[in-house]
A and B are shown apart, each in its own frame.
Chain A
Amino acid sequence: MIGILAVQGAFAEHGSMLDSLGVDSFEIRAARDLGERMDGMIIPGGESTVMGKILDDQGMTGTIREMIGGGLPVFGTCAGLILLSESVQGGRPCIGTMPIQAVRNAYGRQLGSFSAQSHFGGQGPIPMEFIRAPAISRTAPEVEVLAEVGGRPVAARYGRQMVTAFHPELTDDTSVHRFFLESVVGGVPGAHQPTVCERCRTLSPLSDILRTCPSVAEHKGYYPR
């Protein structure tokens, strides 16, 4: 089960992509949706300023940051990449869990939007749609670059976090979503495996801990890394 952040943007397209792969998903619109069981989260494309503001207004930013810190696999496309970046040129960081620097609107206005073909994680080449796209201007040494276009990184992975500056959900090519499900989510020893909460010492799945324990922020290390 994959949760798709649905506060604004092209979230339905990710849902259709997962449908076509036979994977269930649900929309995350409000804070309470974060308590639902999920094996991974997708943060879609859209306007990063809008999504960041709604996440802040609805008190969701810190919870998502904690869930990612606790090992929840996450995949951000375009605006999702910006929201996950630790540092943002031309904007402010939001969730900020991925040690990369993003540059907003790096290719300019809509006339600068373009399509490209490139290899991704050793596969491809695959089609890549860049819509008023961000660039990745810096990466920490531990960050693995998964794809490049014109010598610039356009997809990266850091542990259980993956980002793309382009929109695989707008094409018919399923390689990027499959990579996320198989290599990033699949690397998790079962998101629903019962885990001991270090704070309240109950044995329950992560999603239940997040729903029932009031101090989610203190739940470091309850999730297998």
Chain B
Amino acid sequence: MNQRYGLNKELAQMLKGGVIMDVTTPEQARVAESAGACAVMALERIPADIRAAGGVSRMSDPKMIRGIQEAVSIPVMAKVRIGHFVEAQILQALEIDFIDESEVLSPADDVHHIDKTAFDVPFVCGARDLGEALRRIAEGASMIRTKGEPGTGDVVQAVRHMRAVRSEMRRVASLEECELFEAAKQLQVPLDLLSYVHENGRLPVVNFAAGGVATPADAALMMQLGAEGVFVGSGIFKSGNPERRAAAIVRAVTNYRDAKVLAELSEDLGPAMVGINEEEIRTLMSERGQ
């Protein structure tokens, strides 16, 4: 294993049990940090607004990303379009802590993802099932997240993807070793990564939930379903009281099995983001990049 890749997977391990929040300004980044975010995702528009605005969405302005890097001491992540390795080179030049090769932006390549092994900074990628997850890891991703359906406030897809990944892992773990060759062929993944899942019953990298998480209960739901941490995008700064909601989601992730604490945390948070149901939307972002 390449030493840099080891260090990058280890940074993802440090984020476990934490909440990564989308922010669009240094001010929001400071709110997120003091509410207990373990990292922030710097982007020009949050997914709900990207969805509303339509058109092509791209990597954020480096000046805006720098502003956020200067505002906080926690890791700063930023998004690039699927397959856009030059946007990734630019973010690496900014010394970003993590790159999200994200379906939330318009894909730049409808066939290839970025060869992430060519970079020194870590990447997180979305996955709807075990095949996608292991293909992204084979390309060099240091962390996986569900794709969910960003910007909707509807958690149904994140649940679907997390359940799909977990149940496929259980199935792989139960196979006989001689059956792994065929399974690798069907899932279109490298045999060594599938063997890792077979032996350990888990992905070789950290697995977070993302997409549609809007309440402390949503966050705890994803944790109970096996997520190791949570990304919250539009759910915080599209809500009535971002500070309070952000802090409540942070504590919900720590106390995700304690319903009494979750009840307290869910009180009096003001209106959640309105959200849209997945049937009401035209662009299914999770279908981008498979």
Contact = CB atoms under 8 A, between A and B. Distances in A.
Interface of A: 6-13, 29-30, 45-47, 49-50, 53-54, 57-58, 78-79, 90-91, 104-105, 108-111, 113-115, 129, 131-132, 167, 170
A30 B261 contact: yes
Interface of B: 3, 6-8, 10-11, 13-18, 33-39, 69, 73-76, 92, 95-98, 120-122, 247, 250-251, 253-255, 258, 261
A46 B258 CA distance: 22
Contacts of A104: 73
A43 to B, nearest CB: 13
A79 B15 CA distance: 11
Nearest to B35: A53
B15 A57 contact: no
Contacts of A90: 73
Contact of A30 (B10, B16, B35, B255): B255
Q: Is the interface of A mostly helix, strand, loop or mixed?
A: loop
Contacts of A78: 14
B36 A50 contact: yes
A174 B53 CA distance: 54
Nearest to B94: A109
A109 to B, nearest CB: 5
B18 A9 contact: yes
A49 B73 contact: yes
Contacts of A131: 7, 10-11, 14
Given A110-B98, A114-B7, A115-B3, A54 B36 contact: yes
Given A104-B73, A111-B95, A129-B7, A13 B258 contact: no
Q: Which of B3, B37, B38, B69 has the most CB of A within 10 A?
A: B38
A13 B250 CA distance: 21
A110 to B, nearest CB: 4
A10 B16 contact: yes
